[in-house]
Every structure is written in C-alpha cells, then in structure tokens.
Amino acid sequence: MKMSWLILSVSLLLVACSKPREEDRAGGQLSSMDNGEVEILSIAEVEWEQLNPARGDQSPQAGTLWGNRRWGEVPTGFLAKFVDGFSSPPHIHNATYRAVVIEGLVHNDDPEAEPMWMPKGSFWTQPKGEVHITSAKGPSVIALVEIDQGPYLVMPPEERFDKGERPINMVLDNVVWVAAEGFTLSPENPQQAFLWGGLSQEEENGTFLKLPSGFTGTVTSAADLFRMVVIEGGLTHKAREEVLKPGSYVGSSGAYTHHVSSTVETLLYIRTKGRYSIQRNDP
C-alpha cells in the first residue's frame, strides 16, 4: 500500500505542477450566435490524459471541460474516467470537490466504510483534507468533477486536516425535485433540484435540470458564469447540429439564451451564479 501511494502521489504532483497548456484553460470551440458566444465541447472531442502514468492502463484519465485543474485559482470542471475494478489508496486533496456520476458505479468514502456504489446521476462531495478512497465498477465509469479553484492535488493521508466540512453522498433516487419557475410539477415539464450554494444574484450554485422527452425551448442566464454538462439522455443545441451525449459540455458568460431540445428525458448539471430561466417553445 505504501509503495502504491508513493507512485500515485509523485505522479499526480508532477502532473499538477507542470506548466499549463492552452487547452487546459478552456473547453470546446466558440460558436457565434445571435445573442453572443457559446462554448461547446462534445464528449467525443474531450482530450484524455493519464492522471497517474506509472499505473499504465490502470491509471484514471482526465479530460478538461473548463478551467485548469493543474494551475491557477479558477473554477475548473473535468471528466474523470476509471477502469473497471479501480480502487485508489487512501489519500486526501488540498481542495474540496463536487462530483456527479455519468456512467458506471462509483464508491467514494472513508477507507473503512462498506462499499456504497453510486449509479449515474448520483452527486457527491469530497471535503479537502479528509482521508478517503475512490473505487469504480463497470465497463465504462465516468464522473464529472469540479473544484472552485486549482490546483487539484493528491496528498498522503498523513497530511490530513479538518476544515469542518462534511461529505455528501446522494443517489439520484433521493434527489428532491421542484417545478421549474413558470411550470407545474409534472414529468411532462422541466424540473430542478438544488444541490449546493445560494440563489441570490451574486451566489454561485449547482443544480440539476431535468428536461422531459420532446422538450424544445430555451435556457437563459445573465450570469458571468454558466456551465452545463449533460449527465443522462441527449441535448441538441442550436449552435451544433449533433446530439450532445452524456459528458458533453456547454458554457457561456454574460446574458445568453441557449436554444435547446431533447428527444429523450435529459438530465443536466448546471453551475452558475444566481438563477436561470427555462421556457418552452409554443407548439
């Protein structure tokens, strides 16, 4: 265990401290629209790299969606991909992270805890300084991970510390849904679930947005920060002809109206400031 931890920590620290590349600072290409610019990165365009090259094919992989997990004090979102059967040694992080399972099953908890496998759509948080392990099960295991500022470091359990934060592990079945503003609570209408943060205009927050099958309409934000990731289903955006599959990312800043549609029920994770609004196009 000590040797595996040594290999993991050295490799990840080298990656974290290396010079940032241009592609780490942003996700996909910018598309000009009638109301501004939108940044879109489909899952097929994600550039993957090994988090721990010393583990070879067993190494988790990471693909940046926005920000830079290696460098700088900026909010960052990236995809983490694990091989079936992966299990990390006990470790801590210097930064608190939030995560959502996109594919497969993930266990993230105290090293002595009984496995609690979280399926797709599950949301969890990992407080900085707390010792934990992460395990994965399934032919394809992918999770969205986000931090409020980088760098994102892995450190040995002996350096543990307690800032008073406590973890959250919540499977999708336990999420409490409310009607999106302007709609009644119904499976045929958009629904939201509030995960973290506040809703004043200056407060950052994270929410789930569930769009029903056959939805066509808009998602509008005036915030200088708007990040949206497809967790389940598929989303079509006016700026791209293809269907954005789970793991795909859409971002904008400033006042922007996203024209979107979904032919199947679609779950989105949204990080922004303040509120955003949803409207359905008239039939």
Strand partners, 216: 261
**Which DSSP category does 137 fall into?**
E
Residue 193 has pLDDT above 60, yes or no: yes
CATH architecture of structural domain 175-280:
Sandwich (2.60)
Per-residue pLDDT at 35: 58
Higher pLDDT, 38 or 22: 38
Whether omega for the bond prior to residue 283 falls within 30 degrees of 0, making it cis, is: no
Residue with tokens 């927050």: 205
Give the chain's length.
283
Identify which of 95, 168, 93, 101 has the alpha carbon closest to the alpha carbon of residue 135: 101
Regarding beta strands 49-50 and 76-82, do their DSSP bridges make them parallel or antiparallel, or are they unpaired? Answer: unpaired
Query: Which CATH number among 2.140.10.10, 2.60.40.10, 3.40.190.80, 2.60.120.10 corresponds to the domain 2-18+46-172?
Result: 2.60.120.10
Q: Which two tokens stand for residue 55?
A: 């583990």
Residue 233 contacts residue 262 (beta carbons within 8 Å): yes
Residues 111, 156: Cα–Cα separation, whole Å: 13
pLDDT tens for 164-174 read 999 999 999 99
Residue 72: the pLDDT is 67
Q: Where in the chain is the domain with CATH 2.60.120.10?
A: 2-18+46-172, 175-280
Helices (H), the chain: 2-17
Residue 21, pLDDT > 90, answer no
DSSP code, position 118: B
What pLDDT was estimated at residue 5? 43
Integer angstrom CA distances of residue 275 from 137, 160, 199, 206: 35, 36, 6, 10
Which H or E element spans position 13?
A: helix 2-17
pLDDT confidence of residue 132: 97
Confidence band, pLDDT 50/70/90 cuts, at residue 197: very high
For the segment 201-223, the average pLDDT, to the nearest whole number, is 95
Per residue in 73-110, pLDDT (tens digit) is 788 999 999 999 999 999 999 999 999 999 999 999 99
Model confidence band, residue 50 (pLDDT cutoffs 50, 70, 90): confident
pTM greater than 0.85 (yes/no): yes
